[in-house]
Amino acid sequence: MKADEIRALNDEELFKKLEEAYEELFNLRFRAATRQLVNHREIPKVRRRISRMKTILRERELDIR
* Other CB atoms within 10 Å distance of the CB of residue 27: 13
What's the pLDDT tens digit per position in 9-31?
A: 999 999 999 999 999 999 999 99
pLDDT at 32: 96
The H-assigned helical ranges of the chain are: 3-7, 11-33, 42-62
Average pLDDT score over residue span 39-64: 95
Residue 65 — pLDDT band, cuts 50, 70, 90?
A: low
- pLDDT at site 31: 97
pLDDT of residue 4: 92
For the chain, how big is the Rg over CA atoms in Å? 13
Task: Give all domains of the chain, ordered by start, each with its CATH number.
Answer: 3-62 (1.10.287.310)
Are 53 and 18 in contact by the 8 Å Cβ rule? The answer is: yes
